[in-house]
Amino acid sequence: MKPPFTITSSILSLVASISKKLGTIETAQFQQPSVQLRRKNQIRTIQATLAIEGNSMKAEQITAILESKRVLGPAEDILEVRNALHVYSDLASFSPSSLASFLKAHHLMMKGLVKDNGKLRTGKVGIAKGSAITHIAPPPANLKAIMQDLFTYIKTSEDHILVKSCVVHYEIEFIHPFSDGNGRMGRLWQSVLLMEAYPVFAYLPFETIIKGRQSDYYQALERSDSTGDSAPFIHFMLEAIDDSLEELIHVSKRPVSQEERLHYFISLHTGGTFSRKDYLNTFKNIAIATASRDLKLGVLKGLFAKTGDKRNTIYVVVKK
């Protein structure tokens, strides 16, 4: 069954705003931020998504763990970070429409933290706020069928991916398929869904926005639970994504070096010949003279082989 949600005018406005920002990012060639920015954002993502669950590790400590340095702190917190680093460093290996892949991600994320990592829970779950039970998750006997329905929705739904990813995030939180780790898995799987359509989401730490608005995050979940409609949560998450993209655009507004352009171009053209015109079609905001200098540098560095002269010059990427 399709998860229940309403598309509001504010949701449509946010989808339009996000789509415009994604277009800006694509046009400006930000799809592959610098190595330093990618690493910084990955660390921010891991710190934020684990902090929401009570992990005490700071960004500096996570950096040290990434660099295999000794870190002082609770053993469980350190293990959570190591697991998350493993998972987030290999996001592309997960298939967003595969329940088996989802279970594998949980197995890795919760390894050594729970005994049933990678398996659907077998016990009942109730979410408490103070002394009141605010949410009772579906019974374990129904979990397999419910999760299969959710992944059928992922595979077959024609809903916009921005909306679909929020719906799936909410449903994972609502269903509570695991004994532990549901929150981090909901946020992770939204990233996996989004990056299949937009690679920039592999480097976008929208979890940091959620962490900064944690009370609003839980309120959006509660409002969606009480109304039986995930629209409040979809709206909240789209706002977080929109703000994260705005931040990325701001941070990425820096001069791009010749070598960054060359390596980005090579990542798109792994085989076959190309011309200066093809290079200019990739980088529409640079001058002809700049393209010529770039290509000359590429030949000098052995990145391209060159044949012909002037307008008849043809290049081919040198395979390493």
- Topology, domain 9-252: Fic-like fold (1.10.3290)
User: Which amino acid does the sequence have at 23?
Assistant: G
CB atoms closer than 10 angstroms to residue 138 = 16
Same fold, 9-252 and 258-317: no
Per-residue confidence (pLDDT) for residue 253, from 0 to 100: 60
Residue 176: how many CA atoms within 13 Å on its side-chain side? Answer: 18
CA 3 to chain CA centroid, Å, is 22
- The DSSP 8-state label assigned to residue 94 in this structure reads S
What does the domain layout of the chain look like in residue ranges? 9-252, 258-317
Distance CA 88, CA 288 (A): 39
Distance CA 203, CA 38 (A): 5
Q: Which residues contact 170 (CB under 8 A, 6 or more apart)?
A: 3, 186, 221, 224, 230, 233, 234, 237
Structure-block tokens of residue 113:
């933290």
Distance CA 195, CA 294 (A): 29
Per-position b or e across 192-228, b if 16+ CB within 10 A of its CB: bbbbbebebbbbbbbbbbbbebeeebbebbbbbbeee
> Would you tell me which CATH number, out of the four given (2.60.40, 1.10.10, 3.30.70, 2.40.50), belongs to the domain 258-317?
1.10.10
Structure-block tokens of residue 225:
């639970």
| CA distance from start to end of the chain | 49
CA 112 to chain CA centroid, Å, is 24
CB 105 within 8 A of CB 94: yes
Distance CA 248, CA 202 (A): 12
320 residues of the chain, pLDDT tens digit each: 789 999 999 999 999 999 998 887 776 654 455 666 778 888 999 999 999 999 999 999 999 998 889 999 999 999 999 999 999 988 889 999 999 999 999 999 999 999 999 999 999 887 766 666 767 888 999 999 999 999 999 999 999 999 999 999 999 999 999 999 999 999 999 999 999 998 888 878 888 899 999 999 999 999 999 999 999 999 999 999 999 998 888 766 656 678 878 887 887 776 678 999 988 887 777 889 999 999 999 999 998 899 988 778 999 988 76
CB 203 within 8 A of CB 33: yes
- The DSSP 8-state label assigned to residue 119 in this structure reads S
Per-residue confidence (pLDDT) for residue 281, from 0 to 100: 83
Nearest CA to 77 out of 89, 60, 61 is that of: 61
